[in-house]
Each structure stands twice: as structure tokens, then as C-alpha cells.
Structure 1
Amino acid sequence: MSDQSLELLFESEAKVKLLKLFLRNDGFKFTASEVRSRAQIDISAAKSNLEKLRLAGFLKSYSKKEEKIIVREVRVVKKEKNKKPKISIVKRRRKKEVIEKVYFINPHFVFFNELRDLVLKSSPASKSRILSRSKGLGRVKMLVLSGIFLRVDRQLSRTDLLMVADDVSEKRFQKFLRHLEAEVGCEIQFSLMSSDEFYYRHKMLDRFLRDILERPHEVLINKLGAL
């Protein structure tokens, strides 16, 4: 283990994302490409920070061989006498053996318990950032946090995030969700409904909605007035 373990652990936002990813998914193993996708960072940052965490002693790794299909687009020029050359794009596939590193938590890391407690007890995500990113998704009428955002037992919560909004852009909402999950470090249980659906459920004393609003929660946006 390096004598600069703590410095190696907390030197960047990308590394904090990786710590959350591994600690909130204890027992899971990830390659650099999987980390890139889950943490929403570029591949070079993923590889660099994974190696730093390995050098710090927080992660262990092993190499695995995997056969991948490589697709490459090739420009083919066909020439015929007295005719204009024809250019076409051809996709060529070939098999390539790739060696990838697989990373996983070292449970014997000297600061493992303290680090796990620190990360899991800290705020999973910035509330101001959640509010900022929710703009432009559509006409957001209500945004309620629960579950993992309040650091309560997720088994006692029906959802982590409730959003009531109209005219929601599906593409933007999925992007919002990916960034939020990258910051939190795990998949988020969410409920998205329109204003009409919310009012109907509220009027019918819907059990699902009542459970969310009667159990621990925090309201970030409420333009509906009904809680």
C-alpha cells in the first residue's frame, strides 16, 4: 500500500464518483469501460483513477481475455473506364482478442470501514445540482427526494425520486437520470408522472403516493400545493 493513500483517494471529483460506485455496489466488479459508462467520465480518466485507487490499496484487479467484434467503416472506390468513380462505404468486421482489467474492492484495505462509513453517510448528491439539472426537462410541478437521498433504508421507501411534470423530454430526462446516478454511485428508483395522474392518485388516496408522502421525504419543488 502506498504511503500517500489518502491523497490518492480524494484528489478529484472523478475519483469520488468511483469511490461511490464501488462502495454502493460492494461485491460487483467493473472494467474501465463499465466505469466510464456508470460514472459518466471519459475512458482515460476512468483508467487513470482506477489505477490510482489500485495503487492506494482500495481496489484489486485481474486481467481477462475477451473476444470482441471490431467494426470499421472503409471507403471503397470503384473505377470503371470512361465512368465517374463510385465511392461506397463498406463495414468490415473482424474478431480481436482484447485483454481488459477487472477491478473490485479490496475488503482488507486499511481504511475500508472508515471510508465506507464516510461515503455512505455523506450526502449522495448535491440538491442544488439536482434542481439545476431538472430545468429544461419539461414543466416540473413537483420534485420530491426520498430513499437513498435521505440516507434511510431503501427497503422502507417506495422510491428515491418522485417527479411530477408535464411535457417531459424523454431524452433529457434519461440524461438527467444518468448524471444523477453517476453522482450517487448506483441506480436510482424513480417515479415520473403527469400532473393529471398525480391529482387522480391524490384524490383516490393512492397507497403508493401516500407511502411516499407519509414516510421520510424532502420536497425540492412544489407548485401543486397538495401534500
Structure 2
Amino acid sequence: MKILGKLFGSDSRVKILRLFLFNPDGVFENAEVASRARVYSSTARREIALLSRVGLIKRKYFYREVVRKSPSRFVAKRKRVAGWTLNEKFYYLGALQSFLLGATPLRENDVAKRLERVGRLKLVIIAGAFLQDFNSRVDLLIVGDSIKKLVLENAIKNIEAELGKELRYAVFSTSDFEYRLNVYDKLIRDVLDYPHQKVVNRLNLSKT
């Protein structure tokens, strides 16, 4: 990410660029951009203004359900809000997508380091978005014990912010994973039988 940050001006800009490029049909309010990219609100507003000026993103209005409390009950109402979406007519869109989506900001060791505090990890496999295989059922498979749920969720959000995409991930205890492996569980086979990389492999799982 540091190299891309230098090329594009800042790490924050790269995160926000990837958010829009990875989610071409998405519409995001300023606050959601800041939350998903894990940057300050002021930074998100500044980068959104810049990307809007150059024409990469455009304003789009959409309806969001808002729940409000009345004296006796909760009432759901649809509210028209302004957001931002990718401008599919941006002249350099194809070149930018090819470069940024192909330049994975996290290396194998980076992923392992982000997850090292979540518990006693036995196996971590990256696939899907990490390898530009967007048809994969799972982007990240984690096997371990004493997994700390909140620490894991925070680590996943940090990884998602750098990738610009919500991750599809699965977490198993060691015993559960070994059972599923032995009975040829479909999800496990869908990960192991297709492109993937093992970034932690304390189970000494073979390449097949």
C-alpha cells in the first residue's frame, strides 16, 4: 500500500479509489466512504471532492430506509439521500481498474500479520479477491482455536479497507475443519480445489 500511496498521493486516496472501483454499482454517502475506507471524515470529504472534480465519481440520489421512534412505536420511512457512485464514462476508467484491481495492496505476510492476534491460528488461506478470482465462494479461510471474535472482526475490517471490498470469509475450529476436510465438505473443497495460497499452514496441509 505504501508504494501505491506514493504514486497516488496518499494511502487514503488508494483505499477510496479501490472502494469505488471494486464496487462499481455501489452508492456511498460520505460517512459510509469514511467508515469503509477507515479514514477520517474530513479526509473522505476531501478525497471525494477531488475524485468528483476529475470525473471519476458522480453524485447519485437514492432512497434509504430510516427508522424513527414515535411516542408509541418505531416507524420506518424511506428517505432520499445523496451519495456517490463510480462514473462508468470516465475516460481512464479501464486503465485505472486494470492497474489498481490487479495491484493487490497486501502481500501474503501482510495478511498473516494482520491476523496474528486473533487466536491460535493453524491455517489461513487467501483466495478470491486476493488473487483476482471474483467467482470464488470465499476470499479468506481461517482455521484456529480460541478465536477472539471482536479482534477478528476488527482485523477483517482493516483488510477490507485496504482491499476496497467486503470479504467473504469462513472461520473454523481445528477439529471442525479436520472433520469437514475428511468428509469432503463442499465449501472446503471449493477453496482447496481452486486457486488459493496458504499464508499460515501449521496443519502441514498438502498442496492438493
Classify the TM-score, shorter chain: 0.7 to 0.9
Rounded Cα–Cα distance in structure 1 between residues aligned with 2:142 and 2:188: 12
**Going by fraction, where is strand more abundant, 1 or 2?**
1
**Cα deviation code 1:118-162 (max 9, x no counterpart):** 12222153333211111110000000011111112x32x231111
Aligned to 2:53: 55
Pair 1:163 & 2:161 matched: no
Q: Alpha carbons of 1:104 and 1:169: their partners in 2 closer, same or farther (altered >3 Å)?
A: same
Deviation at 1:14, TM superposition (A): 0.5
Aligned to 1:206: 185
Partner of 2:123, secondary structure, is strand
Pair 1:193 & 2:191 matched: no
Partner of 2:12, secondary structure, is helix
Aligned to 1:119: 100
Q: Alpha carbons of 1:58 and 1:197: their partners in 2 closer, same or farther (altered >3 Å)?
A: same
CA RMSD of aligned residues (A): 2.6
Aligned to 2:202: 223
Deviation at 1:109, TM superposition (A): 1.7
1:147 to 111, 123, 128: 128
Identity of aligned residues (%): 30
1:178 to 154, 157, 162: 157
- What is the aligned residue count? 190
Pair 1:14 & 2:12 matched: yes
2:116 to 135, 146, 152: 135
Rounded Cα–Cα distance in structure 1 between residues aligned with 2:146 and 2:176: 13
- Asked whether the equivalents of residues 58 and 106 of structure 1 are also in contact (C-alpha less than 8 Å), the reply is yes
Deviation at 1:13, TM superposition (A): 0.7
**Cα deviation code 1:54-95 (max 9, x no counterpart):** 1222122267999x99xxxxxxxxxxxxxxxxxxxxxxxxxx
The runs of 5 or more residues in structure 1 that have no matched partner are 1-8, 70-98
- Asked whether the equivalents of residues 109 and 199 of structure 2 are also in contact (C-alpha less than 8 Å), the reply is no
Counterpart amino acid of residue 12 in structure 2 = A
Rounded Cα–Cα distance in structure 2 between residues aligned with 1:101 and 1:161: 33
Partner of 1:202, secondary structure, is helix
CA radius of gyration, larger in: 1
TM-score after normalising by structure 2: 0.82
